[in-house]
Structures are given as C-alpha cells and as structure tokens.
Amino acid sequence: MQVIVIQAFGIVVFLVGSIWLAGIIRRPGNSRVAENASRISHAMFWIALVLPGTIALFYPGLTAYDEFFGMPSLPAPPMWIAPGIVLLSVGSVLLVSSNRFLFKKGRGAAAFLLTEQLVTDGLYGRTRNPMSLGFYAVCVGIGMIAGSLTVTLGALLIIVPVHLINLKYFEELELELRYGHSYVDYRRRVPFLIPRLKHT
C-alpha cells in the first residue's frame, strides 16, 4: 500500500534529518543556526510524521495494517477501547494545554512559530516535554481504539523512539544554543519526559 510506504519513508526522513540537523548545530553552533534548524525539524515533523499518519486514519484505515503485515488484531479488541480513550483524552489535553502555555508565556506556537522565551511553568514545570508526551499518548491511544496491534506497536516501538532521538540529540542542544544557561538550569531541574507530581 502506497500510504504505508510513504509512512515508512517519512519515518526514515525524520530520523535521518534529525541526526543531520544535530550534526549541523554541533559545528560551531549559534542561536541563528539553531533557529533555522529548528524550523526545518518542525517542518519534517509535520510533513514526514503527522501528515502521512493522518492520511492513514482514512486510507487505508488503521484496521487494515494488521492484515497487510499479517499480524493479529489486539486480543479482545473491545477491552482496549476504554484505556485507548483515556490515553487519547489525556494526550489531547496535554497537547492543547502545552500549546496554550507556549503561546501565552513563550509567545510562540509549537512547530509553527518559535517561542521567544523559555517556558518553565505550568506543565513545563513538571516535564520538559509535555507536548511530546501528549503526542505519544494520542498515537498509542488511537491504535488501541482501532484494535490494531500493528498500529499500537508501531507507535510504541517506532514513532516514540524516533521522536525521542530528535528530542535528545537535536532539540535539547538547539534549545541550549537559543536560551543558554537558563535552559541548562531548567534541564537540570525538570524531568525530561515523565512528569513529577510536585511543581518545581
């Protein structure tokens, strides 16, 4: 199926592109180079990961993946719907709330308009990557609701690790170049992904 091939190609492009951009900003990097690289990274995220995945919701449809790959569906599909809805709901709240903080406090919007200042309060005081955590929860939740083992495992074992590579090896350095010691201090105080219950 063409959409599946496009998705696979997009994942490879995003992974290789993230590593390439990380290499660029490691050579005497500065904030201007980091900003430009960040814009490219955001474009790759939307074009290579989000767009093909969104198209796949409708064509071929998420339930078609198991058949295409010769995989069984999730066992007892109805039992996965409720936890899938919880993940989808929590992930959606994280996505909306973290974007609201970026817009209000950082005067930017995720993947469209780079923030002008570092956001360290609200959800960002509990985890450095609430938006990514929300994205992961949405991807896994959708797979569970669809009852698709392939989509659920693909989200957990491919999409999440590839995106984590982007965060750890590109985005963290990009933010350090743009925000300097304030980001280094923030990174030291706040967990990378799993939120802490107590606000810093």
Structure confidence by residue, pLDDT tens digits, 81-105? 999 999 999 999 999 999 888 888 7
pLDDT tens, 11-37? 999 999 999 999 999 987 788 999 999
> Which one, of 156, 190, 195, 159, lies nearest residue 175 by Cα?
190
Domains recognised in the chain with CATH numbers:
2-189 (1.20.120)
* Rounded CA Rg of the chain: 18
pLDDT tens-digit series, residues 133-185: 999 999 999 999 999 999 999 999 999 999 999 999 999 999 999 999 999 99
Instruction: Report residue 196's pLDDT band, with 50, 70 and 90 as the boundaries.
Output: confident
- Given a contact cutoff of 8 angstroms between Cβ atoms, the answer to whether 42 and 18 are in contact is no
Global pTM reads 0.93
Query: Quick check: helix, strand or coil at residue 109?
Result: strand
Mean pLDDT in residue range 65-73: 93
Q: Which helix (H) or strand (E) holds 31?
A: helix 31-44
CA 19 to chain centre: 16
Distances (CA, A) of 46 to 49, 52, 55, 148, 162: 6, 9, 12, 23, 14
Q: What's the Cα-to-Cα distance from 28 to each of 20, 97, 178, rounded to whole Å?
A: 15, 35, 13
* Residue position matching structure tokens 């980091």: 34
DSSP-assigned letter for residue 113:
B
